[in-house]
Amino acid sequence: MPEGDTVYQAARRLDQALTGRTVERTDFRVPAYATVDLAGQPVHSVASRGKHLLMRIGDQVVHSHLKMEGEWRVYRPGQRWTRPGFQARAVVAVPGAVAVGFDLGVLEVFPASEEADRMAYLGPDVLGPDWDAAEATARIASKADVPIAVALGEQRNLAGLGNVYVNEACFVRGIRPDRATATVDVPPLVDVARRMIVANRDRIARTTTGNDRRGERLWVYGRAGEPCRRCGTAIEHGRLGRNDVELRDSYWCPSCQT
């Protein structure tokens, strides 16, 4: 699933292409919103909120979540799309640009007056103007019996971190992802996780090791069975989640993380 930095970059591209222009055409290819027409309305802004993307048009908000396969691409008018048309879920056209949302996991349109309430369940946005380290730390720490990787990745505690950053931050802090949150010094973990994602929000290729070479950009994520970059011990793999439906892959070094 795309993480907060990916959604942040997508929102920035869309904002640059759409904001300040008047919508010429919209096409929402989901039954609930198939009749919605925002033509003639101004695009006020496009922004990310954690892993959510909010396109503010007129007095409405087009809300999308990329989930696993979704993405937004921007084309010139008349340009051939680079993904099949049947995968398109939303089209927003303005003079000089056409934004197409493909395979969006969530797509809805609602009144702008409802945005604050609809997004209120999210924790502080790690890349947003509302970032509050103390609040995020308190929310995570309140999940005392939950594995730290689950608490850190829960969007109600801290919005924007995904599984890559969760695993990488736990490694850097020397913490096994399955440790109970009550046993973890949470503030430094939150701090390093945020510094990682902030450092990557403008990068094309994400890196947490500081090495930008292909295959050397991550410490543990996706590296099960490979040697730890610090000590050489084989990286281990497991799955953690709040329940069986929400299990996520976890990776750790059994020597460097305790």
Enzyme catalytic residues? 2-3, 51
Phi, psi of 114 (to 5 degrees): -95, -5
134 is written with which tokens? 């103390």
DSSP assigned state of 182? G
Q: Give the three-state DSSP class for 24.
A: coil
Render 87-147 in DSSP notation, one character per residue: GEEEEEEETTEEEEEES-SEEEEEEGGGHHHHHTTS--BTTSTT--HHHHHHHHHT-TTSB
- Which has the closest alpha carbon to 12: 60, 57, 55, 76? 55
The H or E element that residue 11 is part of is helix 4-18
What Cα–Cα distance (Å) separates residue 154 from each residue in 51, 80, 107, 146, 236? 12, 38, 21, 11, 22
